[in-house]
Chain A
């Protein structure tokens, strides 16, 4: 690490250790753990619902709290996976398999500890890598003009489509729908009203919060009748919370591998933390000397995926902070939060708002420590939360959705949009569409349109501007490669890792890895 990076990090810690920032980091971690623990409410819905609560805070405290919810939910998700065989959030699907098997063998405490320690190590390693990688990328991105940004956004969408488990046409169809929704409202360059149908609230466009809360929060509730939610918990024996020596030994390498793999996957657009945990499970099964133990309580089956999903959630901050590019719906909402506070994420963030950038990074070191301290001693409290019957829980979540969405603009139109999006989210699930690219399309629509139109104006309408500039050209070549790879897998109809991921997400336990 360069001396300047260390100096900047010291500045970050001076911000992160302020009592008020520490308080909001703690609050974010606590709420995030609860969000991860509770079925039917994922990190995206949690962050969206609590976004309005941060309006009274400054940008640093707001982003520290919201990010705490994000990575805290990755910790919390393991609790329900291990104790109930229900993933508290999607990235914990793989932990269900061996975590629950360990719990049934009376090793629930050890599984929870391994998951928490793995998450801590991976989270911390992820933050170290983020500290090292993000500033140079941001420096490089200062050379980006509108054509480079246009190419980068196209690449982001194509990567998302390539990584998606639902297939290229379905993902791009959803992204196009999101882009179209993002066109609603006043055109900033000409002042034209687009698709507002004389509803004045639509003049400002459709906000990300009602769409995200509707698709992911309400949509999930509509698809989950209470009779389908199991309330059977395998209670951990707290006396056996510490893993034995053999279990520690078996978890060291999977944690290390999961941390590196997760961070690398996290940088790439897509549902990175979900993909990372799936890939890590596959890798661990492949390198294991006893692959037959997977599915029956293998320690590596808990340590690897849990580490990978935490490292991936940290890795996802690299493109968001350094390039201003959201790689998934969660980072898109976090970006929206920064924008609301007047802090545009991107290459200028490090120089123009160093306190926010470095304070946020430093708070993640502290947050990971807080989560380790929270998750183990308080596991009994979280188990109690799990015993709240779903029939009482989901009405509460709907109420919080309404409060959260209404409070953003004090607009009832936003609440109606949320309800419509909830129904759309339910129908999309039925027809096997992933709503995440829709949210991403909605977020990038204004940036994409502005850079595309600026590029065309700059070149006097010459499309060649995108291939004449070296960085844009390189990005478009990568786009072509990604498209080619997608076409190959479409033509070959191979049952690749994405098909297996889709199967795992659908809850089919057979043939994993």
Chain B
């Protein structure tokens, strides 16, 4: 049997439903006259699993898993990695340092733009955003190292 897109999608959703159900054991279902905190989650998990099973049943009509184009995956992984690093540094390093780094790494290392352009862009854009949000709109942006 050829593995198809909806075999994977349906299987993952079924597994997710089972995991959430396992994490719901401490939630009381209650009774119909007095529903507990676990009633809606349980009903929703059952429905979700039913739709996932339906997807699995009809998976034969979906394209083979190999037909999904992953040409953009490299870009996505790089962007997620850089963004995750910037988020991790956001509070300890503060807005200016973390966002300038984010913009610089994305434009210079990921997009291969000239060093000087990337430097000017990341510095200029970060300071402008700080002026607009932090100064004009009084949004409390994290100051990190400068606190």
> Residues on A close to B: CB < 8 A?
52-53, 56, 169-170, 172-173, 176-177, 179-180, 183, 187, 189-190, 192, 194-195, 218, 221-226, 228, 391-392, 394-396, 398-400, 402-403, 406-407, 410, 412, 415-416, 419, 422-423, 426, 430-433, 445, 448-449, 452-453, 456-457, 460-463
Q: Chain A at the B interface: mostly helix, strand, loop or mixed?
A: helix
- With A56-B138, A422-B83 known, 7 other A-B pairs at CB within 8 A are A170-B51, A395-B111, A402-B87, A403-B139, A403-B141, A407-B140, A412-B87
- The secondary-structure label for the interface of chain B is helix
Q: Chain A: which residue is nearest B87 at the CB level?
A: A415
16 sampled A-B residue pairs with Cβ under 8 A: A173-B48, A173-B55, A176-B48, A189-B37, A195-B41, A221-B79, A392-B107, A392-B113, A399-B99, A399-B126, A402-B90, A407-B133, A431-B8, A431-B9, A457-B35, A462-B32
Which residue of A169, A228, A406 is within 8 Å of B90 (Cβ)?
A406
From residue B5, how far is it (CB to closest CB) to chain A in Å? 6
Given contacts A222-B72, A457-B34, contact A176 B47 (CB under 8 A): yes
Q: With A179-B44, A222-B75, A391-B113 in contact, is A432–B102 under 8 Å at CB?
A: no
Q: In the complex, A367 Cα to B80 Cα: how many Å?
A: 37
Give a binary string over B95-118; 1 marks a CB under 8 Å from any A CB, 0 the rest: 100010011001100010100000
A513 to B109, CA, bound (A): 44
Cβ of B1 under 8 Å from chain A: no
Query: How distant is the Cα of A222 from the Cα of B6 in the complex, in angstroms?
Result: 22
**Nearest residue in A to B134 (C-beta to C-beta)?**
A403
Q: Which 10 A-B pairs have the closest CB atoms?
A: A461-B32, A461-B33, A192-B37, A187-B37, A225-B75, A391-B111, A176-B48, A222-B76, A395-B106, A173-B51
Does chain A have a CB within 8 A of B119? Answer: no
B residues less than 8 Å from A218 (CB atoms): 83
Hey, which chain B residues are within 8 Å of A432, CB to CB? Answer: 5, 62
Task: Tell yes or no: B145 within 8 A of A by CB.
Answer: no
Can you list, as one digit per residue, whether each of B62-97 has a CB less than 8 Å from chain A (1) or not (0)? 100000101110011001100110110011000100
Interface flags, B111-143, vs A, CB<8A=1, else 0: 101000000011001100100010001111110
Query: Is the pair A412, B9 in contact by a Cβ cutoff of 8 Å?
Result: no
The CA-CA distance from A412 to B55 in the complex, in Å, is 36
When distances are taken between beta carbons in the complex, the residues of chain A under 8 Å from B3 are none
- Alpha-carbon separation in the docked complex, A460 to B45 (Å): 24
Contact in complex: B107, A398 (CB < 8 Å) = no
Q: How far is the CB of B126 from chain A (nearest CB, A)?
A: 8
Check B99–A173 contact: CB distance below 8 A: no
Contact check: which of B8, B35, B70, B107 meets A395 at CB < 8 Å? B107
Q: Bound state CA distance, A222 and B83, in angstroms?
A: 11
Chain A contacts for B23, CB-based, 8 A: 195
* Chain A residues with CB below 8 A from B79, complex form: 221-222, 394, 398
The answer on a CB contact under 8 Å between A431 and B44 is no
CB-based contact A169/B107 at 8 Å: no
* Cα separation A431 to B65 with both chains bound (whole Å): 9
The interface residues of chain B lying within 8 Å CB-to-CB of A225 are 71-72, 75
Task: Check A180–B45 contact: CB distance below 8 A.
Answer: yes
**A392-B121, A399-B102, A399-B103 are known contacts. Are A190 and B37 too (CB-CB below 8 A)?**
yes
A164 CB, min distance to chain B CBs, angstroms:
13
Counting CB contacts under 8 A, is B18 at the interface?
no
Is the Cβ of A457 less than 8 Å from the Cβ of B33? Answer: yes
Report the nearest B residue to A454, measured CB to CB.
Answer: B35
B40 proximal to A (CB < 8 A)? yes
- Chain B's nearest CB lies how many Å from the CB of A120? 30
What is the bound-complex CA distance between A12 and B103, given in angstroms?
43
A403 B44 Cβ-Cβ under 8 A? no
| B70 proximity list for chain A (CB < 8 A) | 430
Distance A400 CA – B86 CA, assembled complex (angstroms)? 13
Instruction: Give CA–CA (A431, B136) in the complex, Å.
Output: 42
Contacts of B37 in A (CB 8 A): 187, 189-190, 192, 194
Closest partner residue, chain B, to A391 (CB atom)? B111
B67 CB → nearest A CB, Å: 11
**Across-interface contacts of A183 in B (CB, < 8 A):** 40-41, 44
Give chain A nearest CB distance to B137 CB in angstroms: 6
Asked if A195 contacts B9 (CB within 8 A), the reply is no
Which of A53, A187, A228 sits near B72, CB closer than 8 Å?
A228
Which residues on the B side are within 8 Å of A416 (C-beta)?
A: 87
